[in-house]
Structure 1
Amino acid sequence: MSLIVLAFFIGVVAGLRALTPLAAVSWAARFGWLPLGGSWLAFMGYTWTPWVLSLLALGELFNDKLPKTPSRKVPAQFATRIVTGAVAGAAFGIATSSSIVGAIAGALGAVAGTLGGAEARSRLTNAIGGKDLPIALLEDFITVMSALLIVRQLA
């Protein structure tokens, strides 16, 4: 599969959870699946980076369940997802010497994932009587598994 298509898909994951794609990309870089050495994203493959990003991603998964967590569509949340999608996409683009194209694909994927994910979660929550937690946990599972499957394509 094209790395630019994968950049779009990792952006979609950023639309679901902002930090999960960065953690996944960092592990891919650490394992040598995504060659980022010598690039502006080389730090993603450093020894501690995947661990730190994974802890932050776990924190985000927990925070998403709190009642005061704002919608992913508010400007700050939306912008963060676009930025993390672009960074993760750029990492895929670096491997093809097209970091800008990868960043654009990742950002576009993040927009699609943010809007589509919010709509899907809302509809599914309504379909089961307004209980958000089961759908939020399902979304977490889909997010993490998707990120793993996407970066596994690089191995």
Structure 2
Amino acid sequence: MIFLLAALLIGIVAGLRAMTAPAIVSWAAQLGVLPLQGTPLAFLGWRFTPWIVSLLAVGELITDQLPTTPSRKVLVQFGTRILVGGFCGVAVGLGGGQPWMGALAGAIGAVLGTLGGAAARARLAAAFGRDRPAALLEDIVAIGGGIAIMALLP
């Protein structure tokens, strides 16, 4: 049950920041927190995978600050977050022996994170009077939340 909750929550992280979720999952696999050895997703725990995915996540954190970055709710952005949430959910679900339920939980979490994150960021940006502090706060929540989620795993 804890793995399905973790899959839902890592999906929410994917909805906030699409590349942060796989970076967190990859580090968890590499550090042995998420047991993916012997599964089709074992590559997430390979030596260089967490570093590569983390570089992509940092790139996303930077491009998110640009005024030309499209809304996370446009079709391509939204769809990507759902796919990434489902993928990360599969990885977490594999740890608990329920990859398909993990995929579903991760995809649902991504929808919740995308819509909820956009609404929360809009409210925070209005309260701050500008978007950047809201975006940085969202970054902190995504990264810190992702790490906390993986720490929940047995």
Which bin holds the TM-score, normalised by the shorter protein?
over 0.9
The corresponding residue for 2:34 is 34
The corresponding residue for 1:48 is 48
Matched to 1:7, the amino acid is: A
Mapping of 1:5-16 within 5 angstroms?
Answer: 5-16=5-16
The corresponding residue for 1:133 is 132
| Distance of 1:19 and 1:47 partners within structure 2 | 18
The CA RMSD over aligned residues, in Å, is: 1.0
| Distance of 2:2 and 2:124 partners within structure 1 | 31
> TM-score, normalised on structure 2?
0.97
Q: CA deviation at 1:154?
A: 2.4
What does the per-residue CA deviation read over 1:12-51, in whole Å, with 9 as the maximum and x for residues that have no partner? 0000000101000001100111111121111000000000
- How many residues align? The count is 154
CA contact (8 A) 2:2 2:153 kept: no
The corresponding residue for 1:153 is 152
The corresponding residue for 2:122 is 122
Matched-pair identity in %: 54
Q: Secondary structure at the match of 1:38?
A: coil
Q: CA deviation at 1:97?
A: 1.5
Mapping of 1:21-100 within 5 angstroms?
Answer: 21-100=21-100
> TM-score, normalised on structure 1?
0.96
| Distance of 1:91 and 1:48 partners within structure 2 | 17
| Distance of 1:124 and 1:114 partners within structure 2 | 15
Q: CA deviation at 1:70?
A: 0.2
| Distance of 1:154 and 1:9 partners within structure 2 | 12
CA contact (8 A) 2:22 2:53 kept: yes
Matched to 2:151, the amino acid is: R
